[in-house]
Structure 1
Amino acid sequence: MAPALSNLAITVVVGPGILAHEYAHYVACRLVDVDVYSPPALRPLADDALLEHEPVDSFAADFPIAVAPFAVNSVLAFAAFWALHATAGPLQWVWLWLGVAFGFTALPSATDTASLLRTAGTLPGAVRPLGYLLAAPVWLATRSMAVAGVLTFLWTGVLFVQSAGPA
Structure 2
Amino acid sequence: MNAETVAYAVAAVGAIAMLIAVIVGISTLLWLLVRLVTIPGVVIHEFAHKQACELVGVPVLEVVYFQFGDPAGYVRHGQPRRYREAFVVSVAPFLVNTVVAFAAFLGLAALVSTTGNLRAASIETIAATAVLGWLGLSIGMHAFPSTGDADTLWRRSRLEWRQSPMVLLGIPVVVVIYVANLLSWLWADVLYALGLGILAFSIVGAGPVPV
TM-score, scaled to structure 1: 0.83
1:120 to 140, 157, 165: 157
Structure 1 spans left out of the alignment, 5+ residues: none
> Structure 2 vs 1, CA of residues 25 and 4 (structure 1 numbering), >3 Å: closer, same or farther?
farther
Residue in 2 aligned with 1:63? 87
> Structure 2 vs 1, CA of residues 131 and 8 (structure 1 numbering), >3 Å: closer, same or farther?
same
Structure 2 spans left out of the alignment, 5+ residues: 1-23, 116-124, 206-211
More helix by share: 2
Deviation per CA, 1:99-141, whole angstroms, max 9, x where unpaired?
001110000010122111221234464742x32232x233223
Residue in 2 aligned with 1:34? 58
Letter in 1 for 2:177: T
RMSD: 2.5
Residue in 2 aligned with 1:22? 46
Asked if 1:155 is matched to 2:192, the reply is: yes
More strand by share: 2
Letter in 1 for 2:173: V
Which shows bigger deviation, 154-163 or 2-11? 2-11
Letter in 2 for 1:99: G
Letter in 1 for 2:75: L
Q: Is the partner of 2:75 in helix, strand or coil?
A: coil
Matched length: 165
> Structure 2 vs 1, CA of residues 153 and 52 (structure 1 numbering), >3 Å: closer, same or farther?
same
Q: How far off is 1:4 after superposition?
A: 6.9
Asked if 1:138 is matched to 2:173, the reply is: yes
**Bigger-Rg structure (1/2):** 2
Residue in 2 aligned with 1:95? 132
> Structure 2 vs 1, CA of residues 4 and 154 (structure 1 numbering), >3 Å: closer, same or farther?
closer
Residue in 1 aligned with 2:76? 52
Residue in 1 aligned with 2:18? none
Is the CA contact (8 Å cut-off) linking 2:110 and 2:204 kept in structure 1?
no
CA distance in 1, matches of 2:157, 2:80: 12
CA distance in 1, matches of 2:153, 2:42: 21
